A and B are shown apart, each in its own frame.
Chain A
């Protein structure tokens, strides 16, 4: 089975709202996590990453939170825009490669 998964397959929000996308992982030994955004017909695009020695990391309009106690990862997008509409994947580093979950489709309406 997959070691990384997302709680909800779809999320619909209004433009300007804050979005929260969740992810659960099962390997407590994982020490590096990445969020990717994938637009239709394109490859995954790096958004933000976090190492296991951190609980929170902020980027431009995005924040990743890591709760190692419950093995939970979340991506928060502030002031969501139509251009944020895409599929979002969390990925867990296992050895050399990444293990991906199934993705959450974020739909932003104006």
Chain B
């Protein structure tokens, strides 16, 4: 059982470039989330989704976009990368009212 799978694991972007972080879960969870974690800090919620076709902003959505065309996938897009987006990104999923499970993270550096 793979759980929550994120790709890529590591990426370096130049300022102004765009990229998509991929996230897939095989647990048939309705809810999916994207968090970012800056060094020494807790996780901040970027976007979340309660089901296919439904997305909502979290605490820090600026500079990001998401889509949820299927239950399994929840990609996170950075349109114009900025140094402030250098962070570790975690995707997560859950069933309603239950524990949230996290992926292993994607390390992004914007230079």
Contact = CB atoms under 8 A, between A and B. Distances in A.
Contacts of B31: 96
A97 B48 contact: yes
A102 B40 CA distance: 7
Interface string A30-48: 0010101000011111100
Interface string A13-25: 0000000000000
Interface string B72-105: 0000000000000000001010000101111111
Size range of the chain A interface in the assembly: 20 to 34
Contact of A49 (B35, B99, B103): B99
Given A36-B102, A97-B48, A97-B58, 20 more contacts: A2-B42, A4-B42, A34-B100, A42-B104, A42-B105, A43-B90, A43-B92, A44-B43, A44-B90, A45-B102, A46-B101, A96-B48, A97-B33, A98-B100, A100-B35, A100-B43, A101-B42, A102-B41, A102-B42, A103-B40
Interface of B: 4, 31, 33, 35, 40-45, 48, 50, 56, 58-59, 90, 92, 97, 99-105
